[in-house]
Structure 1
């Protein structure tokens, strides 16, 4: 079911929920770039597991209004607005890739409402002490963050060009991405269903502009607005050892700082390996 939910400052957020409406509520936060139509188990699987899954377009993506100069911490207010509108008290949060820092923000800033949090193939803060932030990262992602450091206008120009290319030929863009992936990721993205989902996800997220993508990258490049050390609820961190989009040492850095965090690093897996464990992670999130 899709609906628009409005925030206190008058923005609209495009929200989708599926699975068992009376089940355990879990927010699934999409990657960068992405949308509410991103990777998720089928509704029938969610229903069987007793999960009420909520996804939404972050500001600037898809049908959600932009929130200029947002930080990662902004997600706490938006998730609260959605939960309140749906009559949900406590919930779990799972974030994959660009959604992972946002999931951790919910854990840190909404401790009374966030029961469990899982962060899959995520990044560490840009100012993470003792971490070689770019080591092992693919050239295209390094270029994004160099552009972000050069300023909002340079990053916007670069990502608008890439977004226009994706909008013009989303299937071709996914095929281009496929060629640069590690072997394990290439095998996953070769699946017809997953490829179709990625096409749908990117096309929806970038259908109007690159605004959400730009604002995500800028938010990852500055202070997140919370400290991982302040998280007190259960956290699961999962990463594929061969990830080139968000190198595994980012998650290892987080695991050393989040009290009691459970760390899973899978050998022979990379960034899209998170899709294969998503159902299991969602089950963990419901406790």
Structure 2
């Protein structure tokens, strides 16, 4: 006789597994069950909202207008603070915002490498920043700057990529180089990145199941930090715990997991095939990287800099992925971008 009890048990196990694959819906801000909205927000043409925060001198008085794009597990509150003296001296207005799904910005289930760039342009238009502005992005936010250079170069006065995340599947990387760099990563990250690229529909399940180790970034594993990063994190990060909770309050799938799916998915363009957005020298693109970065291989950033000689490449000795929060570093980055001497 068939074992109906065993069959029901197997069916329940399969059902439970399948339900674990499907991410829960995000807890949208300002919805009946979602978090409260506490920030300034704009409404985009597609109906989504973007939350933002203004810093520096009033934009009406500013000589330089800069939009900062945060990385994974971060939000609009995590922009490094320039010195008040530099802000006043140069007349700098800075604008940070929550990328789609983060903080108090609505998720974008159709998010791609292009949509963040278009969000940046629409944010600038609604806040009347003028026809051109600067962009600075860190880590995944740095990767988003590549999208700005591709899709809205005509809107930019200059750009900074701070240890931007690389996509190991960009076609212009030599196979041997990218294989060596990929194998430098923790085994758990190689698995997680492979899932995000080849079977993205499993990304949520992979990073929430208990059988295999998930992404070190998603799990908050400190092994991916360099010695310098750990020192900086011990000083700066305690104050960021609430920011991190705020960043992911609508759900990890639309934040960190979506970042993985977009960042390591199949792109519509290869950054190493971009043309100089400032051929007449009326702007510049800077790429900063620490040579002890354990999240983004230095060898791949060096290759990008060689392929794109119009990029001004700054490699910092003994620095890791968080170098930009060290004392005085953001001032140096801003001065270089704005063509001022330290």
Contact 1:121 1:274 in 2 (8 A): no
Contact 1:26 1:285 in 2 (8 A): no
Shift of the 39–47 alpha-carbon distance from structure 1 to 2, 3 Å rule, reads: same
Distance in 1 of aligned mates of 2:137 and 2:333: 10
- Residue 281 of structure 1: aligned partner: 333
User: Aligned-pair distance for 1:263?
Assistant: 0.9
Q: Which runs of 5+ in 2 are unaligned?
A: 1-37, 211-217, 279-283
- Residue 266 of structure 2: aligned partner: 223
Q: Taking CA–CA contacts closer than 8 Å with sequence separation of 6 or more, which of the two structures ends up with the larger relative contact order?
A: 1
- Mark the structure with the bigger radius of gyration: 2
- Residue 80 of structure 2: aligned partner: 40
Indicate which of 262, 286, 299 corresponds to 1:249: 299
Alignment pair present for 1:208 and 2:250: yes
SS of alignment partner, residue 37 of structure 1: helix
Indicate which of 193, 196, 220 corresponds to 1:145: 193
Distance in 2 of aligned mates of 1:161 and 1:44: 46
Indicate which of 140, 155, 161 corresponds to 1:98: 140
Contact 1:51 1:286 in 2 (8 A): no
SS of alignment partner, residue 93 of structure 2: strand
- Residue 169 of structure 1: aligned partner: none
Q: Which runs of 5+ in 1 are unaligned?
A: 163-172
Alignment of 1:115-264 (within 5 A): 115-128=157-170, 129-130=173-174, 131-132=177-178, 133-159=181-207, 177-178=221-222, 181-191=225-235, 194-210=236-252, 211-228=254-271, 229-233=274-278, 234-264=284-314
Aligned residue pair count: 274
Contact 1:28 1:53 in 2 (8 A): yes
Q: Is the deviation greater in 28-37 or in 221-230?
A: 221-230
User: Aligned-pair distance for 1:9?
Assistant: 0.7
Shift of the 190–116 alpha-carbon distance from structure 1 to 2, 3 Å rule, reads: same
SS of alignment partner, residue 102 of structure 1: helix
User: Aligned-pair distance for 1:37?
Assistant: 1.3
User: What is the TM-score with the length of structure 2 in the denominator?
Assistant: 0.73
User: What is the TM-score with the length of structure 1 in the denominator?
Assistant: 0.86
Distance in 1 of aligned mates of 2:209 and 2:241: 17
Q: Is the deviation greater in 178-187 or in 12-21?
A: 178-187
Distance in 1 of aligned mates of 2:239 and 2:313: 28
Distance in 1 of aligned mates of 2:53 and 2:209: 28
Shift of the 159–42 alpha-carbon distance from structure 1 to 2, 3 Å rule, reads: farther
- Residue 25 of structure 1: aligned partner: 65
User: Aligned-pair distance for 1:143?
Assistant: 3.6
User: Aligned-pair distance for 1:205?
Assistant: 1.1
Shift of the 197–112 alpha-carbon distance from structure 1 to 2, 3 Å rule, reads: farther
Shift of the 46–205 alpha-carbon distance from structure 1 to 2, 3 Å rule, reads: farther
Contact 2:72 2:256 in 1 (8 A): yes
